[in-house]
Amino acid sequence: MAELQKAEIVGTPALNGTYISEMDIWPLETQEFNRIYPFYDNLRAGKFTTTKCKKCGHIAYPPQVICPKCWSDELDWVELPQRAKVVTFTETQAGAPLGFDSPLIIAWLTFGDKSPLKHLLGRIVNCKEGELKDGDEVKFVTFSVPAHPIEVKKDTKVCERVFYAFERVK
């Protein structure tokens, strides 16, 4: 059996660095648990993607397994822009939810008219309190989140995980 990696959830010192799956805020990203697993594989490759319907052309975000417009399950993966502009945002300066550091910044982003996806609600990271302004340019970034153990044929496999956010372009 592979040795389990201890994953720490940021902001929960009471857990003493141990992993409690009920408090896991991140998705299980592997094929065994997740039907949109290519999204996470693409994140690991540095690509920001979503699904586009082969029948009606509808682009959904977050990625889907069935088109929400025509119910087709024939979907393609398309790449999204990695730069956006901040339309407006909220900044939680204290009391951010478990697993998040303050300031927790959530921004309404615009990708512009040429993008297949016009807008997205995204998290802004690596930004000090009061630093972000409306109209700022931001770029897509990925970061590691706690790995997750799964049972595969009576063995334990540790699945590395990744997620994305946006960072201010200086």
Residues that bind Zn ion (CB under 5 A): 53, 55-56, 58, 67, 69-70, 72
Measuring CA to CA, how many Å separate 21 from each of 8, 27, 30, 49, 166?
11, 11, 16, 27, 26
> Do 107 and 119 contact (CB within 8 A), yes or no?
no
**Residue 63 beta carbon to Zn ion: minimum distance, rounded to whole angstroms:** 13
* 69 versus 123: smaller Cβ distance to Zn ion: 69
**Residue 107 beta carbon to Zn ion: minimum distance, rounded to whole angstroms:** 29
Element holding 112 (H helix, E strand): none
* 74 versus 101: smaller Cβ distance to Zn ion: 74
Q: What is the dihedral of CA 116, 87, 38, 40, to 10 degrees?
A: 160
**Residue 148 beta carbon to Zn ion: minimum distance, rounded to whole angstroms:** 32
* 72 versus 102: smaller Cβ distance to Zn ion: 72
**Residue 64 beta carbon to Zn ion: minimum distance, rounded to whole angstroms:** 10
Which tokens hold the place of 52? Answer: 């586009």
* 17 versus 68: smaller Cβ distance to Zn ion: 68
> Do 167 and 138 contact (CB within 8 A), yes or no?
yes
Q: What is the dihedral of CA 122, 21, 41, 120, to 10 degrees?
A: -10
Element holding 30 (H helix, E strand): none
Which tokens hold the place of 42? Answer: 């693409």
* 67 versus 84: smaller Cβ distance to Zn ion: 67
**Residue 102 beta carbon to Zn ion: minimum distance, rounded to whole angstroms:** 40
